[in-house]
Chain A
């Protein structure tokens, strides 16, 4: 860069008192260079910023262009103070100045250079204090932390002066001396004559990024000696001076597409390291600086795949001290769902480019061995056979139909259909399960079950892949068994209405498999997922999900599906549907409220001890 001067800190702070004489030095600002031979020129923007919106022309402060010494050019009297205090809401008035930096002498009124630092001046509404009233801390350091940043790979130079110009000017009778306590071999030097601190060599962030020193100040006043120590911190700023590299030399990964063919699937990941830091903020600009591009002429490949880049900070320890670096991950991702018939293999190359690194090794090539395998839509080598009790009610769940590997599929949408072969006996239907993986068989017409003429029913099931229209068929036998039970009078439609064990098992209801509801006995401890309840089938209700068959009719399993009020101690299920947990027994009136309550008071109201007492 042509213009590389910079400030080693973002902010400076000093106090200004009333009626301090013109010529009082306030503080010293330093600049560091980018290359040898650069000379710093300091310039003050002639705008004092008082509060956010208010500003005032600067009549009081000036900076020496060559040395960076900020001084009072005119004393501030009470009137000036009052004027500058307006708009300041804080008890302490602060004004703000911008100091600009350039490698050439400033033209008049130049006020927009990118390199600037901020000086805060606290206006103390009193005359300068007597030196004897200042504490050692106040005599030695300002309130601002001694914290600096130095860019790596830049020439050495002085970046701070420990002595406070204002105090030195005010308290000439006091002896104030400084020392910089640093471990052996640290690249910093303290000059006792100027109290300047300089960096003695080019720094390398990848070697060490933080130096912690201690600035020690001794104040002597007659026989009294006081010492103050404060931390003196130097952070090394990073620039892109390291190329990307591969951990263990791994640049190849296998990417297999088989059952999971859904858009967004991550097929394989390769990792690239870089000793430089990469800010995750702003994210998009960092992504642009470190690119990963698929190298291909094949439009099908560039449409079907994409590369996702994520990165995170990791730590390296080059010589015992930890420094931050970056781990870049390049993920090969399906850009669209792939058809089950697709079959190919090829190598896909991704070029990773560290665009800000200036060197020959700025890029690495990653290789993905991609295999896309076709999958077949077929049923297992058998016919399905389910036995259905003649007393089963509508919405009783009979079983699941699934093509081979159906549970492994993602991004493949299978439709299941029943092709009836015997029109008069047609008791069951099929419904699509979630994500198009399986089909659920259920009783659709319970009157057919009661028909003595229907015994064995044969269906053909067809499974079809939506995208490719590939399909498979198999046979389904439904065998009806059991003798018809006499229907109880006064039984409700829904098992969930029953509140007691006995009445539950006496009745049937929508969704029952054998004509009778089932009782689930809970653990009875507080509000639990294992609450007591009456259900058509313990296997499916309540199981925490409102499945496709249960959602056909609210009377089947309100325990999983209700969206109404639940009265009593309870926890609601996912999406506010159903009773996830309840207290005691939970029962429901479909399309109305559910109730969870503890009604089995088994303890005696008065036990033997109690009776004796009475």
Chain B
């Protein structure tokens, strides 16, 4: 986890708030401030223990305690990724918020501050490599370049080899340490989510993932606030916990990500389970963010002047080896075609959830249908 924390970049810059709200103090500091004030006691937390929101509010004393809390810095406090005493901060956060959720919320709000900073430079290096000139670098292996870049950096190299040597240790003949991802059995995803929610760190990282990678129809990129960095950061933040995600196979063309779980045995909660799993396996925000990171286009992205959304490439089962001069899926789509029809542009990223048949319908059908064929002719 130490590695990931260091890879996920420095904590966000203080004082920056994209939405103009007051920047809250972190919960460790808020707790100190609260302890110094006699009125801001721990009464509220005693109220919360073992109660849900409504039973708590029924109690007059607890309601008064909540009112006091609303005025205290604890109320809006957040934590920072990789901060000192991160676990303590999260413990304070959840001690206040846990009872209010009643544990059945599908998505929980992230206890972390919003990401405003870029990922660290080490992390970036690989995509800079590949992003400079796609034509000359098309034969290079981006992952090897990234490994090379890491090995040339003392810090990255040390932490990387530390993780690898721990993870590749064989404990006994029956207990292989395929380490962080695979296990003997695939648990049910809701069961895994429950296990994750009993752990403050895992719960926070999952909530952060849901906050930053939740597919949104309101943005061109499908990501909340068009912020790829935030999504990638919280995706990487899940690695090392029960909910560790990974690529499900080595397919170079389709990116499918999943935690080690399935929806088998969900009973009446199958719909909920599949919805949970789809946020990993069929999440256009996450997929676009990963593809954009690979292209090096994610840093250029700003909400005001967005690059065209990356529509998922058409399925090309028959062409395992792409011709060298096709560098990525972006170039297959002529952006001028998409911009002629705003409604399609808006809904193009909706992953077939809806099919809009308007005047532009035939035109886009044509483009997406023709492209796979063109590809094989190149």
Contact = CB atoms under 8 A, between A and B. Distances in A.
A278 B267 contact: yes
A603 B290 CA distance: 47
A226 B108 contact: no
A145 B282 CA distance: 15
A279 interface: yes
B203 to A, nearest CB: 12
Contacts of A324: 270
Given A54-B75, A280-B191, A228 B218 contact: no
Interface in A77-130: 86-87, 89-92, 111-112
A45 B218 CA distance: 29
A54 B70 contact: yes
B109 interface: yes
Nearest to A111: B54
Nearest to B303: A91
Contacts of A149: 268, 271
Interface residues on A, range: 35 or more
B19 A52 contact: no
Interface in A270-301: 277-283
Given A51-B109, A137-B354, A576-B170, A112 B191 contact: no
B356 A313 contact: no
A279 B354 contact: no
A231 B357 contact: no
A91 B225 contact: yes
A141 B354 contact: yes
Interface string B358-372: 110000000000000
Interface string B336-374: 000000010011000001111111000000000000000
A228 B267 contact: no
A230 interface: yes
B201 interface: no
Interface stretch (B94-102, B142-150, B152-160): B94-102
B284 interface: no
A287 B357 CA distance: 50
A279 B96 contact: no
B298 to A, nearest CB: 18
Interface in A312-331: 312-313, 324
A231 B271 CA distance: 15
Interface stretch (A190-198, A530-538, A567-575): A567-575
B60 to A, nearest CB: 14
A564 to B, nearest CB: 16
A574 B356 contact: no
B265 A52 contact: no
A112 B58 CA distance: 10
B357 to A, nearest CB: 4
Contact of A229 (B53, B172, B218, B357): B357
A312 B267 CA distance: 11
B97 A226 contact: no
Contacts of A229: 354-355, 357
A341 to B, nearest CB: 31
A237 interface: yes
Contacts of A136: 343, 356, 358
Contacts of B178: none
B19 A91 contact: yes
Contacts of A279: 188, 265-269
28 contacts: A10-B272, A11-B106, A53-B75, A89-B109, A89-B110, A89-B211, A91-B19, A135-B343, A137-B354, A147-B271, A149-B268, A228-B354, A228-B356, A229-B355, A231-B353, A237-B268, A277-B266, A277-B267, A279-B188, A279-B265, A280-B264, A283-B191, A313-B265, A572-B170, A574-B170, A574-B173, A575-B171, A575-B172
Given A55-B53, A230-B355, A575-B171, 18 more contacts: A52-B100, A86-B21, A89-B21, A89-B211, A112-B54, A135-B347, A137-B347, A145-B353, A231-B353, A235-B270, A237-B268, A279-B188, A280-B191, A281-B265, A281-B266, A312-B265, A324-B270, A576-B169
Interface of A: 10-11, 45, 47, 49, 51-55, 86-87, 89-92, 111-112, 135-137, 141, 143, 145, 147, 149, 224, 226-231, 235, 237-238, 277-283, 312-313, 324, 572-576
Closest 10 CB pairs of A and B: A279-B267, A280-B265, A281-B191, A227-B357, A226-B358, A277-B267, A52-B97, A281-B188, A313-B265, A230-B354
